Amino acid sequence: MRTHTGFIALLVAAAFTGCSDSAPETGFAGLAQYAGEADGSGFLQPQPGDTLNFPEDWGPHPQHRIEWWYLTANLTTADGSPLGVQWTQFRQALQPRPIESDPPDPETWPLDAAWMAHGAVSFEGDHWFVEKLARGDVGHAGATAEPFRVWLDDWRLEALPGSAEWRLQVEGDGWSYDLRLGNTGGVVAHGEEGFSAKSASGDGSMYFSLVDLQVDGTVTLGEKTLDVSGKGWFDREWSSQFLKTGQQGWDWFALHLEDGQKLMAFRLLEDDDTYLSGSWINTSGVVEVLGNDELTLTAVNWKKTQQGRVPVTWRLTIPSREVDLTIKAPPGTYWNLGLYPYWESPVSVTGSHEGVGYMELTGYSH
């Protein structure tokens, strides 16, 4: 597939930018102001009242324009050193397909969708990242709900036969990881039964997570293979209009707190305002939706890099819960320098609660 990656990169860029000569800084999910509105396009747009359906929602949604499967993991090595892992696979539809219809014949070399996968490792101040792209419906990339499987070439996340565990295998240039994921909790539906608003006007996406993943396996960096274990967070999200015109990117946080509670929060950047939302998940898995006026998220300290200034320390508060957190990236530079650069780093949490997590920042690169 590597012989076609340049073509697919141009294809994906064209899908986002129309006749523009450059890709949007908001990245693979920044669709609305670049690829047109969902209305009249034939794509479905999630709405309040839509519900999650399993096992179907583990698989692809060909009637929607954009979706992704996304894992971050805060791991430790055998000697206790922290190590972060990220894997994401995106599906970008170029035209909608009814859910009940058969996929096109691969021999026709169809062009209904493009796929992109990202893999990264962060360890001791260093950051390794690889991006892979593929054309859809010709066997090089795809996803299925039963059995659960998401793949792009030799990268794959899949359910293990006869087991409740998943296996994730990713290989970059001089590094790789082979991980087993076991889920010990239920599905967390964000927003209104899985519909997550992304603006004050109510546009949004379908969004759910697994927040109780136990992760074990190996990470190989050069000639050294490390045994690792720790906590993982898995997201599924799909929409046909993720960002509205005027929204420049987002700041996203997924946190495991030491008392067993979890927190997801995001901030969407707009021309003259911000939109905040989140989910507080208690130790029993009960979710409290946090609205725009129930939490604050403030950049405290910025880092200057070749790609642009990026906030590496944040303060997050939830006054009703007496939560006051400082969220901090470790020393180092954690840009994922693919077609659409963005910052993806593990974080430490201190303050009213301690813990670990991940943050993703988009819209900051030049």
Which pairing describes strands 224-239 and 195-197: parallel, antiparallel, or unpaired? unpaired
Contact call for residues 310 and 303 (beta carbons, < 8 A): yes
User: Length of the chain, please?
Assistant: 366
Contact call for residues 63 and 43 (beta carbons, < 8 A): yes
Contact call for residues 156 and 144 (beta carbons, < 8 A): no
Residue 81 to residue 244: CA distance in whole angstroms: 41
Q: Annotate 235-298 with DSSP letters as a single string.
A: EEEEES--S-TTEEEEEEEEEEETTS-EEEEEEEEESS-EEEEEEEE-TT--EEEE-TTS-EEE
Phi/psi-derived region of residue 193, left when phi > 0, alpha when psi is between -120 and 50, beta in every other case: left
Cis bond leading into 55, ω under 30°?
Answer: yes
b or e along 210-241 (b: 16 or more beta carbons within 10 Å of the residue's beta carbon)?
Answer: bbbbebebebbbeeeebebebbbbbbbbbbbb
What is the amino acid identity at position 272? D
Question: What architecture is domain 2-361?
Answer: Beta Barrel (2.40)
Average pLDDT for runs of 10 along the chain of length 366: 39 41 44 42 89 96 94 98 98 78 61 89 98 83 95 97 96 97 96 92 92 98 98 96 69 97 92 87 95 94 96 97 97 96 97 98 88
pTM, to two decimals:
0.89
pLDDT for the residue numbered 273: 75
Phi, psi (rounded to 5 degrees) for 259: -85, 5
pLDDT for the residue numbered 245: 62
What is the amino acid identity at position 131? E
pLDDT for the residue numbered 33: 38
The residues that bridge with 351 in the sheet, in sequence order, are 325
pLDDT for the residue numbered 40: 54
pLDDT for the residue numbered 129: 98
The owner of tokens 């054309």 is: 135
pLDDT for the residue numbered 42: 85
